[in-house]
Amino acid sequence: MEADIFVDAKGLSCPMPIVKAKKAIEGLESGQIMQLESTDKGSLNDFQSWVKRTNNELVKVEEDNDVFRFFVKKG
């Protein structure tokens, strides 16, 4: 999937992955895609919950070798 912005939050713990995601997505236009990578297990639940409350859309989540890759479409 083509992303419009890439955010590396690997090695950071909560709340930083979401703090970074919020900052990055503010700079996008509606419909554009942010890709964020995190190694924090808690970020899986938090991303699902965060997108719901912010009207963004979690298009896809991939997991490989303990890295979570989130693709979020700006609402």
Partner 1 sequence: MAGTLSVDQLHRKMSQDESVFILDVRNPEDYSEWKIEGHNVQSLNIPYFDFLDEDEALYKDLPKNTEIVVVCAKGGSSEMVADMLEEKGYQVKSLAEGMRGWSQLYVPVTISVDEHMKLVQFNRLAKGCLSYMVISEGSALVVDPGRNIEEYINVAKQENVKIAHIMDTHLHADHISGGIDLAKQTGATYYISSGEMQGSNESFEPLEKHRHVQFGAVDVEVLAMPTPGHTPGSTSFVINRKFLLSGDTIFVGGLGRPDLGGKAQEWALTLYETVFKKVADLPDDVLVLPTHYADIKEINERGYVGATLGEIRRSNEIMRTTDIRKFTERVVSAIGDTPPNYERIVGVNRGTEHVTDQEAMELEIGPNRCAVHHQ
Active-site residues, by number, are: 14
Q: Alpha helices, DSSP H only, in 1-75?
A: 16-26, 42-54
**Which residues, in sequence order, are bridge partners of residue 62?**
69
Structure token digits, residue 53: 């409350």
CA dist 62 and 53 (Å) reads 21
Shortest Cβ 2–partner 1 spacing (Å):
26
- Window 16 to 75, contacts with partner 1 (CB under 8 A): 16, 18-19, 22, 41-42, 45-46, 48-50, 53-54
Q: Is 13 in the site for partner 1 (CB under 8 A)?
A: yes
Measured from the CB atom, is 1 or 13 closer to partner 1?
13
Query: If residue 71 lies in a helix (H) or strand (E), which one and from where to where?
Result: strand 67-73
Residues that bind partner 1 (CB under 8 A): 13-16, 18-19, 22, 41-42, 45-46, 48-50, 53-54
